[in-house]
Structure 1
Amino acid sequence: MIRTLLALDSALVLGALSFVLAAEDDIRVVAEVDRGDAVPEAVRDGRPDVVVADLDFVEGVEASRLGQCPVLVLAHPRRAGRLRGMRCGTRMIGILRSDVAPQRVVEGIRLLARREPVLDADLVVAALHADGPLTERETEVLALTAEGAPVAEVAVSLGLTSGTVRNHLGRIARKVGARTRVEAVRVAREAGWI
């Protein structure tokens, strides 16, 4: 029996994955937590064989507080750059996209329990190219925008016209898959590009 701890910030995903795992004969959910600060205590009390956790939850926890329990990290491709700086000690870590099919998570749990690697190729590529899709100038424009500078002020600061700044912002939004400047700033901050 693979004792599994679920540490996910979405109650809907947490409940759905718990339901899926309950149908598996060889996996038992020993604890469910929806806050990162609750993970170390749940690991100590539940003594899981595998932890399935959001990137945000394991990123802020010292490796020593998770023991040697393998961790299956679920991450969004936009946040893949943060995987490069993750410290795991000697613990086995698996990495999957946060939007994979539940059966892929089930397979990942089984592989990690056998100390076999679990990697999502798209996330690995995204982590390797985590410097981001933005040019140096686009990064400057977005960084000033993130600080609250209006288009005219960004233009003056960088020696550009307001039209050029608006063009940069439009191109940035398309590159990062955002609909608005605010969303582009959020995406870039989450990915560590600004």
Structure 2
Amino acid sequence: MTGPIRVLLAEDDELIREALAGLLNREPDIDVIATAADGRQAIERALAHRPDVAVIDLEMPALDGLGVIAELARALPDCAGVILTGHGRPFVLRQALASGARGFLAKGAPGTALADVVRRVREGQRYVDPVLAADALTAPPSPLTAREIEVLQAAHVDRPIRDIARALFLSQGTVRNHLAAITRKLGADSRAEAHRIARENGWL
């Protein structure tokens, strides 16, 4: 490979975006050729500039990091994707790797670590931040039964009990009992909060 590694950096926080770009541009073999403030912009600029590596924040407006990586894997298969995240929840790690990401790195990692990951993925390697991997591996298993997960998936935020019962061929009383058990197990105050907790932990 000749010339510097061409990098696209997508991060919605302007200060973080500029700081990361500055750190990467200090490396003699890395050149940040474009930046983006949201997911759609990241895809547009990647298609325009065709970077070697795309460093993408997990949580962004318009389209999240997983969506960006998946789209780039289809449109620019030679572009290696790296996800930046603040947490290592198991389902996020699995989804990131399934989306085509080659790297998974904590946002708080030193700039030299990000540069090293950029080099590794450009060479075809994979990299998962060991701290994030440990967090994912030690995350608690789901306290919900298979039926409770099914009820919670069908419940949404404000779907009427009768509609949930009809969809799952259960009585309304059974649905109420399941929802009560779900909120109790998850320590939630509402159905919406229970859904959020379960989703964020990858139990849905």
| Structures share fold, TM-score greater than 0.5 | yes
Q: Which residue of 2 aligns with 1:77?
A: 88
Q: Which moved more, 1:48-57 or 1:138-147?
A: 138-147
SS in 1 for 2:71: coil
Percent identity of equivalent pairs: 29
Q: Which residue of 2 aligns with 1:159?
A: 174
CA RMSD of aligned residues (A): 3.8
What residue ranges of structure 2 are gaps of 5+ in the alignment?
Answer: 59-64
The answer on whether the counterparts of 2:161 and 2:172 sit within 8 Å (CA) in structure 1 is: no
SS in 1 for 2:128: coil
List aligned pairs for 1:10-21, cutoff 5 A. 10-21=13-24
SS in 2 for 1:32: strand
Q: Which moved more, 1:178-187 or 1:114-123?
A: 178-187
The answer on whether the counterparts of 1:2 and 1:49 sit within 8 Å (CA) in structure 2 is: yes
TM-score with structure 2 length normalisation? 0.65
The answer on whether the counterparts of 2:12 and 2:37 sit within 8 Å (CA) in structure 1 is: yes
> Number of aligned pairs?
182
TM-score with structure 1 length normalisation? 0.67
> AA paired with 2:24?
L
> AA paired with 1:95?
G
TM-aligned CA deviation for residue 193 of structure 1:
4.0
Q: Which residue of 1 aligns with 2:61?
A: none
SS in 2 for 1:52: strand
2:131 is equivalent to residue 117 of structure 1: no
Q: Which residue of 2 aligns with 1:168?
A: 182
Q: Distance in 2 between matches of 1:180 and 1:20?
A: 43
> Quick one: structure 1 residues 40 and 117, their matched pair in 2 at CA, closer, same or farther if it must change by over 3 Å?
same
Q: Distance in 1 between matches of 2:186 and 2:46?
A: 41
Q: Which residue of 2 aligns with 1:186?
A: 196
2:53 is equivalent to residue 50 of structure 1: yes
